[in-house]
Structure 1
Amino acid sequence: MRKKILAFISFSLLAVSCKQKETHENLELKNTQVISHVMTKDAQEKLTPDNVLKELIDGNKRFQNGNSTLRNHNEQARKSAMGQYPKAVILGCLDSRVPIEDIFDQGLGDIFVGRVAGNFVNEDLLGSMEFACKVAGSKLILVIGHQHCGAIKGAIDNVEIGNITAMLSKIKPAVQMSQNFSGKKTSKNEEFVKCVSKNNVSYTLKQIRKQSPILREMENKKEIKIIGAYYNLANGILEFVK
Protein backbone atom coordinates (compact mmCIF):
# COMPACT_ATOMS: atom_id res chain seq x y z
CA MET A 1 0.00 0.00 0.00
CA ARG A 2 2.84 2.34 0.91
CA LYS A 3 4.50 1.72 -2.46
CA LYS A 4 1.25 2.59 -4.26
CA ILE A 5 0.96 5.87 -2.31
CA LEU A 6 4.57 6.82 -3.14
CA ALA A 7 4.05 5.95 -6.81
CA PHE A 8 0.91 8.11 -6.91
CA ILE A 9 2.73 11.05 -5.29
CA SER A 10 5.64 10.73 -7.77
CA PHE A 11 3.23 10.61 -10.71
CA SER A 12 1.36 13.67 -9.41
CA LEU A 13 4.57 15.67 -8.99
CA LEU A 14 5.68 14.70 -12.51
CA ALA A 15 2.32 15.78 -13.95
CA VAL A 16 2.53 19.17 -12.17
CA SER A 17 6.12 19.66 -13.38
CA CYS A 18 5.14 18.88 -16.99
CA LYS A 19 2.15 21.21 -16.76
CA GLN A 20 4.32 24.04 -15.43
CA LYS A 21 6.86 23.47 -18.21
CA GLU A 22 4.12 23.46 -20.83
CA THR A 23 2.64 26.67 -19.41
CA HIS A 24 6.08 28.34 -19.38
CA GLU A 25 6.74 27.32 -22.99
CA ASN A 26 3.33 28.64 -24.06
CA LEU A 27 4.01 31.97 -22.35
CA GLU A 28 7.40 32.20 -24.10
CA LEU A 29 5.76 31.46 -27.45
CA LYS A 30 3.10 34.12 -26.86
CA ASN A 31 5.78 36.67 -25.98
CA THR A 32 7.79 35.88 -29.13
CA GLN A 33 6.95 37.82 -32.27
CA VAL A 34 6.60 35.66 -35.36
CA ILE A 35 7.30 37.61 -38.56
CA SER A 36 4.97 37.10 -41.50
CA HIS A 37 5.43 40.26 -43.58
CA VAL A 38 7.34 40.18 -46.89
CA MET A 39 9.26 42.73 -48.96
CA THR A 40 7.03 45.03 -51.00
CA LYS A 41 7.88 47.23 -53.98
CA ASP A 42 7.47 50.35 -51.86
CA ALA A 43 9.76 49.01 -49.12
CA GLN A 44 12.35 47.91 -51.69
CA GLU A 45 12.40 51.29 -53.42
CA LYS A 46 13.06 53.10 -50.14
CA LEU A 47 16.18 51.04 -49.43
CA THR A 48 19.68 52.12 -50.39
CA PRO A 49 22.56 49.71 -51.05
CA ASP A 50 24.02 50.71 -47.67
CA ASN A 51 20.69 49.99 -45.94
CA VAL A 52 20.65 46.51 -47.47
CA LEU A 53 24.25 45.80 -46.51
CA LYS A 54 23.51 46.79 -42.91
CA GLU A 55 20.44 44.53 -42.84
CA LEU A 56 22.53 41.59 -44.02
CA ILE A 57 25.28 42.30 -41.47
CA ASP A 58 22.72 42.61 -38.67
CA GLY A 59 21.05 39.38 -39.81
CA ASN A 60 24.38 37.55 -39.76
CA LYS A 61 25.04 38.78 -36.21
CA ARG A 62 21.65 37.42 -35.12
CA PHE A 63 22.57 34.09 -36.73
CA GLN A 64 25.93 34.03 -34.94
CA ASN A 65 24.27 34.73 -31.59
CA GLY A 66 21.49 32.16 -32.05
CA ASN A 67 18.83 34.89 -32.22
CA SER A 68 17.47 34.18 -35.69
CA THR A 69 14.04 35.61 -36.44
CA LEU A 70 10.99 33.37 -36.07
CA ARG A 71 9.02 33.46 -39.32
CA ASN A 72 5.68 32.16 -40.49
CA HIS A 73 6.89 30.75 -43.81
CA ASN A 74 3.45 29.52 -44.84
CA GLU A 75 2.05 33.04 -44.49
CA GLN A 76 5.08 34.56 -46.23
CA ALA A 77 4.68 32.12 -49.11
CA ARG A 78 1.06 33.19 -49.58
CA LYS A 79 1.86 36.90 -49.35
CA SER A 80 4.73 36.72 -51.84
CA ALA A 81 2.98 34.47 -54.36
CA MET A 82 1.85 37.32 -56.62
CA GLY A 83 5.18 39.16 -56.81
CA GLN A 84 8.73 39.41 -55.45
CA TYR A 85 10.87 42.42 -54.54
CA PRO A 86 14.13 41.06 -53.06
CA LYS A 87 16.60 43.60 -51.73
CA ALA A 88 19.79 41.71 -52.70
CA VAL A 89 21.20 38.93 -54.85
CA ILE A 90 23.75 36.65 -53.20
CA LEU A 91 26.04 34.31 -55.11
CA GLY A 92 27.20 31.46 -52.89
CA CYS A 93 28.76 28.04 -53.13
CA LEU A 94 26.82 24.82 -53.59
CA ASP A 95 28.10 23.68 -50.19
CA SER A 96 25.34 22.33 -47.92
CA ARG A 97 26.95 23.99 -44.88
CA VAL A 98 26.34 27.48 -46.27
CA PRO A 99 22.54 28.03 -46.17
CA ILE A 100 22.41 31.59 -47.46
CA GLU A 101 18.98 32.63 -46.13
CA ASP A 102 19.84 31.25 -42.69
CA ILE A 103 23.28 32.80 -42.25
CA PHE A 104 21.86 36.24 -43.11
CA ASP A 105 18.58 35.60 -41.22
CA GLN A 106 16.39 36.42 -44.21
CA GLY A 107 12.89 35.25 -45.03
CA LEU A 108 10.93 34.30 -48.14
CA GLY A 109 11.07 37.03 -50.77
CA ASP A 110 13.97 38.91 -49.12
CA ILE A 111 16.90 37.84 -51.32
CA PHE A 112 17.74 36.18 -54.61
CA VAL A 113 20.22 33.31 -54.21
CA GLY A 114 22.47 31.85 -56.91
CA ARG A 115 24.61 28.83 -56.07
CA VAL A 116 27.38 27.00 -57.87
CA ALA A 117 30.37 25.06 -56.52
CA GLY A 118 33.15 27.61 -56.14
CA ASN A 119 30.85 30.69 -56.36
CA PHE A 120 32.17 31.83 -59.76
CA VAL A 121 30.21 33.65 -62.45
CA ASN A 122 29.29 32.57 -65.96
CA GLU A 123 26.84 33.90 -68.53
CA ASP A 124 23.84 32.36 -66.78
CA LEU A 125 24.67 33.77 -63.36
CA LEU A 126 25.51 37.18 -64.79
CA GLY A 127 22.15 37.22 -66.57
CA SER A 128 20.47 36.26 -63.31
CA MET A 129 22.21 39.12 -61.50
CA GLU A 130 21.20 41.56 -64.21
CA PHE A 131 17.60 40.42 -63.87
CA ALA A 132 17.76 40.73 -60.08
CA CYS A 133 19.13 44.28 -60.13
CA LYS A 134 18.02 45.91 -63.38
CA VAL A 135 14.59 44.31 -63.68
CA ALA A 136 13.56 43.27 -60.16
CA GLY A 137 15.14 46.18 -58.27
CA SER A 138 17.70 44.53 -55.96
CA LYS A 139 20.20 46.99 -54.46
CA LEU A 140 23.16 44.76 -53.63
CA ILE A 141 25.24 41.94 -55.12
CA LEU A 142 27.16 39.87 -52.58
CA VAL A 143 29.59 37.11 -53.58
CA ILE A 144 30.36 34.82 -50.66
CA GLY A 145 33.12 32.23 -50.44
CA HIS A 146 33.67 30.03 -47.41
CA GLN A 147 36.01 28.07 -45.18
CA HIS A 148 36.96 24.48 -46.14
CA CYS A 149 35.59 24.84 -49.69
CA GLY A 150 35.81 21.56 -51.59
CA ALA A 151 35.74 23.27 -54.99
CA ILE A 152 38.70 25.45 -54.02
CA LYS A 153 40.61 22.39 -52.83
CA GLY A 154 39.77 20.59 -56.07
CA ALA A 155 41.14 23.50 -58.13
CA ILE A 156 44.33 23.54 -56.05
CA ASP A 157 44.75 19.78 -56.57
CA ASN A 158 44.02 19.93 -60.32
CA VAL A 159 41.20 17.42 -59.98
CA GLU A 160 39.97 16.07 -63.33
CA ILE A 161 36.63 14.23 -63.26
CA GLY A 162 33.99 14.58 -65.97
CA ASN A 163 32.35 18.02 -66.05
CA ILE A 164 34.02 18.88 -62.75
CA THR A 165 37.21 19.52 -64.74
CA ALA A 166 35.68 22.37 -66.74
CA MET A 167 33.94 23.74 -63.65
CA LEU A 168 37.17 23.90 -61.64
CA SER A 169 38.93 25.68 -64.51
CA LYS A 170 36.81 28.73 -63.60
CA ILE A 171 38.54 28.79 -60.20
CA LYS A 172 42.11 28.27 -61.46
CA PRO A 173 42.75 32.04 -61.87
CA ALA A 174 42.37 32.40 -58.08
CA VAL A 175 45.00 29.69 -57.57
CA GLN A 176 47.38 31.62 -59.81
CA MET A 177 46.60 34.84 -57.93
CA SER A 178 47.70 33.10 -54.72
CA GLN A 179 51.19 32.03 -55.77
CA ASN A 180 52.81 34.70 -53.59
CA PHE A 181 51.48 32.88 -50.49
CA SER A 182 54.45 32.23 -48.19
CA GLY A 183 53.41 28.85 -46.74
CA LYS A 184 52.80 25.45 -48.29
CA LYS A 185 50.61 25.78 -51.37
CA THR A 186 48.55 22.62 -50.91
CA SER A 187 44.92 21.82 -50.23
CA LYS A 188 45.97 20.39 -46.85
CA ASN A 189 47.07 23.84 -45.70
CA GLU A 190 43.86 25.55 -44.61
CA GLU A 191 45.50 28.98 -44.63
CA PHE A 192 46.37 28.55 -48.30
CA VAL A 193 42.84 27.31 -49.04
CA LYS A 194 41.51 30.43 -47.31
CA CYS A 195 43.84 32.64 -49.35
CA VAL A 196 42.65 31.06 -52.61
CA SER A 197 39.00 31.30 -51.48
CA LYS A 198 39.34 35.03 -50.82
CA ASN A 199 41.16 35.58 -54.11
CA ASN A 200 38.42 33.64 -55.86
CA VAL A 201 35.83 36.05 -54.44
CA SER A 202 37.94 39.02 -55.57
CA TYR A 203 38.32 37.52 -59.04
CA THR A 204 34.57 36.92 -59.28
CA LEU A 205 33.86 40.55 -58.36
CA LYS A 206 36.22 41.68 -61.14
CA GLN A 207 34.52 39.38 -63.63
CA ILE A 208 31.08 40.72 -62.74
CA ARG A 209 32.23 44.27 -63.44
CA LYS A 210 34.17 43.27 -66.56
CA GLN A 211 31.54 41.04 -68.17
CA SER A 212 28.38 42.99 -67.29
CA PRO A 213 28.26 46.59 -68.55
CA ILE A 214 24.74 46.82 -67.06
CA LEU A 215 25.87 46.02 -63.52
CA ARG A 216 29.05 48.07 -63.86
CA GLU A 217 27.02 51.11 -64.88
CA MET A 218 24.55 50.59 -62.04
CA GLU A 219 27.42 50.41 -59.56
CA ASN A 220 29.03 53.55 -61.00
CA LYS A 221 25.72 55.37 -60.57
CA LYS A 222 25.56 54.07 -56.97
CA GLU A 223 22.28 52.30 -57.71
CA ILE A 224 23.81 49.07 -56.42
CA LYS A 225 26.83 47.84 -54.47
CA ILE A 226 28.93 44.86 -55.58
CA ILE A 227 30.81 43.35 -52.63
CA GLY A 228 32.41 40.10 -51.48
CA ALA A 229 32.75 38.17 -48.23
CA TYR A 230 34.36 35.06 -46.76
CA TYR A 231 32.26 32.93 -44.41
CA ASN A 232 33.69 30.99 -41.47
CA LEU A 233 31.82 27.69 -41.10
CA ALA A 234 32.81 27.18 -37.47
CA ASN A 235 31.48 30.42 -36.00
CA GLY A 236 29.38 32.08 -38.72
CA ILE A 237 31.61 35.17 -38.88
CA LEU A 238 31.94 37.09 -42.16
CA GLU A 239 35.12 38.72 -43.42
CA PHE A 240 34.57 41.24 -46.22
CA VAL A 241 36.70 40.89 -49.32
CA LYS A 242 37.58 43.47 -51.98
Structure 2
Amino acid sequence: MLTANEALKKLKEGNERFMSGVRSIDALMKQMQRADFVEGQAPFAIILGCSDSRVPAEIVFDQGLGDLFVIRVAGNIVAPSQIGSVEFAVEQFGTPLVVVLGHSMCGAVMATIDDLEHPSHEKSSNVLSIVDRIRPSVEPLFDTELRNNPEQLLKSSIRANILAATNHLRHGSQMLEQLMLKGELSIVAAEYSLESGKVEFFA
Protein backbone atom coordinates (compact mmCIF):
# COMPACT_ATOMS: atom_id res chain seq x y z
CA MET A 1 0.00 0.00 0.00
CA LEU A 2 1.19 3.52 -0.80
CA THR A 3 1.87 6.11 1.90
CA ALA A 4 -0.43 9.13 2.14
CA ASN A 5 2.17 11.33 0.43
CA GLU A 6 2.65 8.83 -2.38
CA ALA A 7 -1.11 8.53 -2.82
CA LEU A 8 -1.46 12.32 -2.96
CA LYS A 9 1.32 12.52 -5.55
CA LYS A 10 -0.46 9.89 -7.65
CA LEU A 11 -3.71 11.89 -7.54
CA LYS A 12 -1.93 15.10 -8.54
CA GLU A 13 -0.21 13.38 -11.46
CA GLY A 14 -3.55 11.91 -12.57
CA ASN A 15 -5.19 15.33 -12.46
CA GLU A 16 -2.36 16.74 -14.57
CA ARG A 17 -3.05 14.06 -17.18
CA PHE A 18 -6.77 14.83 -17.07
CA MET A 19 -6.14 18.54 -17.68
CA SER A 20 -3.88 17.61 -20.60
CA GLY A 21 -6.50 15.35 -22.13
CA VAL A 22 -4.35 12.25 -21.64
CA ARG A 23 -5.44 8.89 -20.18
CA SER A 24 -2.96 6.55 -18.55
CA ILE A 25 -2.56 3.09 -20.07
CA ASP A 26 -2.87 1.63 -16.59
CA ALA A 27 -6.34 3.16 -16.05
CA LEU A 28 -7.52 1.96 -19.46
CA MET A 29 -6.15 -1.56 -18.95
CA LYS A 30 -7.95 -1.95 -15.64
CA GLN A 31 -11.28 -1.57 -17.44
CA MET A 32 -10.43 -4.72 -19.38
CA GLN A 33 -9.18 -6.53 -16.27
CA ARG A 34 -12.34 -6.15 -14.20
CA ALA A 35 -12.38 -9.88 -13.43
CA ASP A 36 -9.20 -9.31 -11.39
CA PHE A 37 -11.20 -7.23 -8.90
CA VAL A 38 -14.00 -9.71 -8.25
CA GLU A 39 -12.28 -11.13 -5.17
CA GLY A 40 -11.24 -7.84 -3.61
CA GLN A 41 -9.97 -4.30 -3.85
CA ALA A 42 -7.14 -2.16 -2.50
CA PRO A 43 -8.00 1.50 -3.16
CA PHE A 44 -5.07 3.81 -2.46
CA ALA A 45 -7.28 6.86 -1.73
CA ILE A 46 -10.76 7.63 -0.45
CA ILE A 47 -12.55 10.52 -2.14
CA LEU A 48 -15.50 12.11 -0.37
CA GLY A 49 -16.90 14.33 -3.08
CA CYS A 50 -20.01 16.02 -4.40
CA SER A 51 -22.63 14.15 -6.44
CA ASP A 52 -22.34 16.73 -9.25
CA SER A 53 -22.23 14.90 -12.59
CA ARG A 54 -19.37 17.12 -13.75
CA VAL A 55 -16.96 15.91 -11.06
CA PRO A 56 -16.47 12.13 -11.34
CA ALA A 57 -13.40 11.40 -9.21
CA GLU A 58 -12.05 8.50 -11.26
CA ILE A 59 -11.98 10.65 -14.39
CA VAL A 60 -10.76 13.87 -12.73
CA PHE A 61 -7.83 11.96 -11.22
CA ASP A 62 -7.39 9.58 -14.21
CA GLN A 63 -7.62 6.40 -12.17
CA GLY A 64 -8.96 2.96 -12.99
CA LEU A 65 -11.05 0.22 -11.44
CA GLY A 66 -10.07 -0.54 -7.87
CA ASP A 67 -7.97 2.61 -7.38
CA LEU A 68 -10.37 4.90 -5.54
CA PHE A 69 -13.04 4.37 -2.88
CA VAL A 70 -15.52 7.10 -3.79
CA ILE A 71 -18.28 8.49 -1.57
CA ARG A 72 -20.51 11.04 -3.29
CA VAL A 73 -23.17 13.22 -1.72
CA ALA A 74 -24.58 16.61 -2.70
CA GLY A 75 -22.47 19.40 -1.27
CA ASN A 76 -19.75 16.95 -0.15
CA ILE A 77 -21.33 17.09 3.31
CA VAL A 78 -20.18 14.90 6.17
CA ALA A 79 -22.96 13.06 8.01
CA PRO A 80 -22.68 9.83 10.06
CA SER A 81 -23.12 7.62 6.99
CA GLN A 82 -20.20 9.33 5.25
CA ILE A 83 -17.98 8.99 8.32
CA GLY A 84 -18.96 5.34 8.56
CA SER A 85 -18.11 4.78 4.90
CA VAL A 86 -14.66 6.30 5.40
CA GLU A 87 -14.09 4.24 8.55
CA PHE A 88 -15.10 1.11 6.64
CA ALA A 89 -12.63 1.74 3.82
CA VAL A 90 -9.78 2.65 6.16
CA GLU A 91 -10.37 -0.41 8.33
CA GLN A 92 -11.00 -2.88 5.51
CA PHE A 93 -8.35 -1.77 3.03
CA GLY A 94 -5.81 0.22 5.05
CA THR A 95 -6.26 3.18 2.70
CA PRO A 96 -3.92 5.97 3.91
CA LEU A 97 -5.45 9.06 2.30
CA VAL A 98 -8.86 10.73 2.39
CA VAL A 99 -9.65 13.70 0.15
CA VAL A 100 -12.70 15.88 0.76
CA LEU A 101 -13.34 17.16 -2.76
CA GLY A 102 -15.57 20.17 -3.35
CA HIS A 103 -15.88 22.12 -6.59
CA SER A 104 -16.60 25.51 -8.07
CA MET A 105 -20.23 26.47 -8.83
CA CYS A 106 -21.53 23.94 -6.31
CA GLY A 107 -25.32 23.78 -6.53
CA ALA A 108 -25.78 22.67 -2.92
CA VAL A 109 -23.83 25.69 -1.68
CA MET A 110 -25.80 27.93 -4.04
CA ALA A 111 -29.02 26.50 -2.59
CA THR A 112 -27.76 27.27 0.91
CA ILE A 113 -26.96 30.88 0.00
CA ASP A 114 -30.38 31.20 -1.62
CA ASP A 115 -32.08 29.82 1.48
CA LEU A 116 -30.20 32.29 3.70
CA GLU A 117 -31.18 35.18 1.44
CA HIS A 118 -34.74 34.02 0.76
CA PRO A 119 -35.93 31.60 3.45
CA SER A 120 -38.63 29.27 2.18
CA HIS A 121 -40.80 26.62 3.76
CA GLU A 122 -41.51 24.99 0.42
CA LYS A 123 -38.23 23.08 0.08
CA SER A 124 -38.19 19.36 0.67
CA SER A 125 -37.14 18.42 4.20
CA ASN A 126 -34.59 16.07 2.66
CA VAL A 127 -33.01 18.88 0.63
CA LEU A 128 -33.07 21.09 3.71
CA SER A 129 -31.14 18.42 5.61
CA ILE A 130 -28.26 19.02 3.18
CA VAL A 131 -28.63 22.80 3.33
CA ASP A 132 -28.66 22.67 7.13
CA ARG A 133 -25.29 20.90 7.14
CA ILE A 134 -23.77 23.53 4.88
CA ARG A 135 -25.41 26.54 6.56
CA PRO A 136 -23.06 26.86 9.62
CA SER A 137 -20.00 27.38 7.42
CA VAL A 138 -21.74 29.85 5.08
CA GLU A 139 -23.90 31.95 7.42
CA PRO A 140 -21.00 33.82 9.13
CA LEU A 141 -19.87 35.13 5.73
CA PHE A 142 -23.07 37.17 5.53
CA ASP A 143 -21.70 39.28 8.40
CA THR A 144 -18.77 40.38 6.22
CA GLU A 145 -18.41 42.58 3.14
CA LEU A 146 -18.75 39.44 1.03
CA ARG A 147 -22.54 39.78 1.27
CA ASN A 148 -22.23 42.65 -1.24
CA ASN A 149 -20.22 40.58 -3.73
CA PRO A 150 -22.22 37.53 -4.88
CA GLU A 151 -19.38 35.99 -6.91
CA GLN A 152 -16.86 36.18 -4.07
CA LEU A 153 -19.49 35.11 -1.56
CA LEU A 154 -20.07 31.91 -3.52
CA LYS A 155 -16.35 31.18 -3.88
CA SER A 156 -15.69 31.79 -0.19
CA SER A 157 -18.75 29.76 0.81
CA ILE A 158 -17.60 26.78 -1.26
CA ARG A 159 -14.15 26.91 0.29
CA ALA A 160 -15.59 27.32 3.81
CA ASN A 161 -17.89 24.33 3.28
CA ILE A 162 -15.01 22.13 2.12
CA LEU A 163 -12.93 23.10 5.15
CA ALA A 164 -15.86 22.50 7.51
CA ALA A 165 -16.47 19.05 6.02
CA THR A 166 -12.76 18.21 6.26
CA ASN A 167 -12.57 19.26 9.90
CA HIS A 168 -15.77 17.37 10.69
CA LEU A 169 -14.24 14.23 9.21
CA ARG A 170 -10.97 14.79 11.06
CA HIS A 171 -12.68 15.19 14.42
CA GLY A 172 -15.94 13.27 14.00
CA SER A 173 -14.45 9.82 14.47
CA GLN A 174 -12.23 8.62 17.29
CA MET A 175 -10.92 5.88 15.03
CA LEU A 176 -9.87 8.28 12.26
CA GLU A 177 -8.45 10.78 14.73
CA GLN A 178 -6.28 8.11 16.36
CA LEU A 179 -4.96 6.94 12.98
CA MET A 180 -4.05 10.53 12.09
CA LEU A 181 -2.21 10.97 15.39
CA LYS A 182 -0.23 7.81 14.61
CA GLY A 183 0.63 9.15 11.16
CA GLU A 184 -1.19 6.28 9.46
CA LEU A 185 -3.90 8.41 7.85
CA SER A 186 -4.08 11.82 6.22
CA ILE A 187 -7.30 13.75 5.54
CA VAL A 188 -6.95 16.68 3.16
CA ALA A 189 -9.20 19.28 1.53
CA ALA A 190 -9.36 19.97 -2.18
CA GLU A 191 -11.39 21.97 -4.68
CA TYR A 192 -11.99 21.09 -8.32
CA SER A 193 -12.35 23.91 -10.82
CA LEU A 194 -15.06 23.25 -13.40
CA GLU A 195 -13.47 25.97 -15.50
CA SER A 196 -9.89 24.65 -15.66
CA GLY A 197 -10.19 21.01 -14.62
CA LYS A 198 -7.54 21.53 -11.94
CA VAL A 199 -7.81 20.14 -8.41
CA GLU A 200 -6.26 22.43 -5.81
CA PHE A 201 -5.25 20.83 -2.51
CA PHE A 202 -5.25 23.48 0.20
CA ALA A 203 -5.50 22.00 3.70
User: Who is 1:190 aligned against?
Assistant: 151
Moved over 4 A (4+): none
User: Who is 1:84 aligned against?
Assistant: 41
Distance 2:113 2:30 in 1: 40
Matching residue within 159, 162, 187 for 1:201:
162
Contact 2:31 2:64 in 1 (8 A): no
C-alpha deviation, 1:211, in angstroms: 1.3
User: Who is 1:98 aligned against?
Assistant: 55
Distance 1:143 1:181 in 2: 26
User: Who is 2:24 aligned against?
Assistant: 69
C-alpha deviation, 1:182, in angstroms: 2.8
For 1:182, give the aligned amino acid.
E
Matching residue within 178, 186, 196 for 2:141:
178
Greater shift in the superposed pair: 65-74 or 94-103: 65-74
User: Who is 1:127 aligned against?
Assistant: 84
User: Who is 2:10 aligned against?
Assistant: 55
> What is the Cα-based RMSD across aligned positions, in Å?
1.6
Distance 2:173 2:104 in 1: 28
Q: Which has the higher helix share?
A: 2
* Structure 1 gaps, min length 5: 1-43
User: Who is 1:226 aligned against?
Assistant: 187
Relative contact order higher in (CA < 8 Å, ≥ 6 apart): 2
Distance 2:145 2:19 in 1: 32
Aligned-pair identity in percent equals: 38
Aligned pair count reads 195
C-alpha deviation, 1:183, in angstroms: 3.1
Contact 1:201 1:241 in 2 (8 A): no
C-alpha deviation, 1:152, in angstroms: 0.2
Distance 2:202 2:161 in 1: 10
Contact 2:137 2:161 in 1 (8 A): yes
C-alpha deviation, 1:220, in angstroms: 1.1
User: Who is 1:29 aligned against?
Assistant: none
Q: Deviations over 1:67-107 (max 9, x none)?
A: 12241344331111111010111011010010110000110
Q: Deviations over 1:156-191 (max 9, x none)?
A: 1116511111221010011124345533357xx232
For 1:197, give the aligned amino acid.
I
User: Who is 2:177 aligned against?
Assistant: 216
Asked which structure has the greater CA Rg, the reply is: 1
User: Who is 1:13 aligned against?
Assistant: none
Matching residue within 108, 113, 127 for 1:164:
127
User: Who is 1:5 aligned against?
Assistant: none
